[in-house]
Structure 1
Amino acid sequence: MIGFLIGFLAGGFGALVGLGGGVIMVPLLVSWARLDQHRAHGTSLMAVAGTALVGGVSYALGGSVDYVAAALLTVTAMMTARLGARYTQKLDARSLRRIFGSFLILTAFLLPFKKQLPHVAAGGAGALSWVVLLGAGGLAGFLSGLLGIGGGTVMVPALVLGAGEPQQLAQGTALMAMILPSLIGAYTHGRMGHIDRKIAPGLLLGIVVGAFSGGQVALGIPEGILRWIFAAVLLWTGLRYLRRR
């Protein structure tokens, strides 16, 4: 039941704002399920793949997935997800959290002013957006493997601010792009013994129920309001990364 509840909360929240749900899952797996940090990251990443699959399908049924952008994000994310998972125990996580937290806070302040950005007002960044998406995919894949998150905290801002896409379309695209990188990262964590197999079935069941519901709710929220919600989530997450010991 604990696994189901964690999965439901993380899946619903993750699909609602276009994240994999790892920012919710990792803390809850540590505090509620009493997993150590490494197993929490690995187990979370396995469940993130479920959130991405179910949530992505939910958005796709509503016509809110850019398949070309998803493919660009997926290509580079797949290359770096395994690397991030392998470096879980080697990198200075404290410094990385501070850099990542600062990035999230900066992005949170930029998102409400999306329409004032020059390239967005001009109708998009053209070929430059492809470069932005490839770079964002690589960074998202590495952070996904390293921190047990889905990578949506990087992918969604890149799609909204870099490619000028609407919020719902960006969230659906990011979820679709997370599926394969999350599976690769989870497989690597599994090889290192970082996945708790006892809690996994309940967690995945909760993910399926929560992610589909969250995706359907998101499709009915106006784009401007959804962007503000996403910005608030990024700000909260960024502050947590900066304050975490």
Structure 2
Amino acid sequence: MLIPLLVTGVVGGFLSGFFGVGGGIIMVPLLMMWAKFDQKRASATSLLAIVPTSLVGAMTYASNHQVDVLVAVFVAIGAIVGAPLGSKLLRVLPVAVVHWTFITMMVIEAFRLLFVTDVTRGSFELTFFTGAGLIGLGLLMGVASGMLGIGGGVIAVPVFMSVFGLAPLLAKGTSLLAMVPTAIAGTIPNLRAGLVVLKDGVVVGIAAVAASFGGVALAFILPDQLSAQLFGLLLLGVAIQSAVRRLNKRAVKK
């Protein structure tokens, strides 16, 4: 069991630092495939591991002046409310609903990254409306975080760039910082509900933290558009694999 957890953490942590996401978008399917976790346990374990991974990643981006703390605070306000709600949905919704929601989110984001070629380099101005929008984004991130075991970065990074005008590296660093309270808020109810084994999440988290530094370094080297397209291909591959696995399970049951 140890090796699958460590490998999952390394892969998820590297991608977390590279793309400014929590890493759950890849850690959840890997935990299901390699550690043989069910969807709910994989989601809860991933979310716990995201806490230290996002924190360390955010600190690394911040050391290069690529984090907007004020934006992250507004997003976190909404996320802290949304994450417990998502965790509750994880406990009460059928596994199939959670699984297909996860797949749908990956496909939508994959196509956006592959076919939207503009890279935003605008500036952000805090107003009543942008503040309310950031809180709303945080609410959505929180629900997705608690329900799907992702940090919400796959939602936040593209929205930061396309709606709020943050440059790509700044969007990634800010996303990671906003995910810290999001993941904590979602993990607490998961622990109380017994959905996650603490030591499993710690093992994945330690491996992810170690690997995140390499991901951040690569993010500062590769062109922004290439980075986005690579992420889109990754998400599309994971979505296809997850969908095939789910359909195969349904066929076996019949």
Q: Same fold (TM over 0.5)?
A: yes
Query: How has the CA–CA distance of structure 1 residues 98 and 210 changed in structure 2, closer, same or farther, with 3 Å as cutoff?
Result: same
Identical-pair percentage:
32
Q: Count residues with an aligned counterpart.
A: 242
- Does residue 186 in structure 1 map to residue 192 in structure 2? no
> Residue 5 of structure 1 aligns with which residue?
7
CA contact (8 A) 2:39 2:95 kept: no
- C-alpha distance in 1 between matches for 2:173 and 2:31: 25
Query: How has the CA–CA distance of structure 1 residues 99 and 140 changed in structure 2, closer, same or farther, with 3 Å as cutoff?
Result: same
Residue identity matched to 1:225? L
Cα drift, residue 70 of structure 1 = 1.0
Query: How has the CA–CA distance of structure 1 residues 100 and 67 changed in structure 2, closer, same or farther, with 3 Å as cutoff?
Result: same
TM-score normalized by structure 2? 0.83
- C-alpha distance in 1 between matches for 2:107 and 2:130: 22
Cα drift, residue 168 of structure 1 = 1.3
- C-alpha distance in 2 between matches for 1:241 and 1:171: 25
CA contact (8 A) 1:6 1:203 kept: yes
Gaps of 5+ in 1: none
Cα drift, residue 201 of structure 1 = 3.5
Cα drift, residue 87 of structure 1 = 1.5
Cα drift, residue 114 of structure 1 = 5.8
What per-residue deviation string (whole Å, max 9, x for no partner) do you get for residues 116-153 of structure 1?
A: 9xxx6986687454343222211111010001111011
Q: What secondary structure sits across from 1:63 in the alignment?
A: coil
- Does residue 154 in structure 1 map to residue 158 in structure 2? no
- Does residue 26 in structure 1 map to residue 57 in structure 2? no
> Residue 210 of structure 1 aligns with which residue?
211
After superposition, the CA RMSD in angstroms is 2.7
TM-score normalized by structure 1? 0.85
Gaps of 5+ in 2: 248-254
Residue identity matched to 1:29? L
Cα drift, residue 100 of structure 1 = 6.0
> Residue 133 of structure 2 aligns with which residue?
132
> Residue 71 of structure 2 aligns with which residue?
69
- Does residue 171 in structure 1 map to residue 172 in structure 2? yes
Residue identity matched to 2:167? P
Cα drift, residue 99 of structure 1 = 5.7
Query: How has the CA–CA distance of structure 1 residues 236 and 134 changed in structure 2, closer, same or farther, with 3 Å as cutoff?
Result: farther
Match of 2:56 among 47, 54, 61: 54
CA contact (8 A) 1:80 1:142 kept: yes
Query: How has the CA–CA distance of structure 1 residues 33 and 234 changed in structure 2, closer, same or farther, with 3 Å as cutoff?
Result: closer
- Range with bigger deviation, 23-32 or 122-131: 122-131
CA contact (8 A) 2:26 2:238 kept: no
CA contact (8 A) 1:133 1:158 kept: no
CA contact (8 A) 2:45 2:201 kept: yes
- C-alpha distance in 1 between matches for 2:56 and 2:122: 34
Query: How has the CA–CA distance of structure 1 residues 27 and 113 changed in structure 2, closer, same or farther, with 3 Å as cutoff?
Result: closer
Cα drift, residue 37 of structure 1 = 2.6
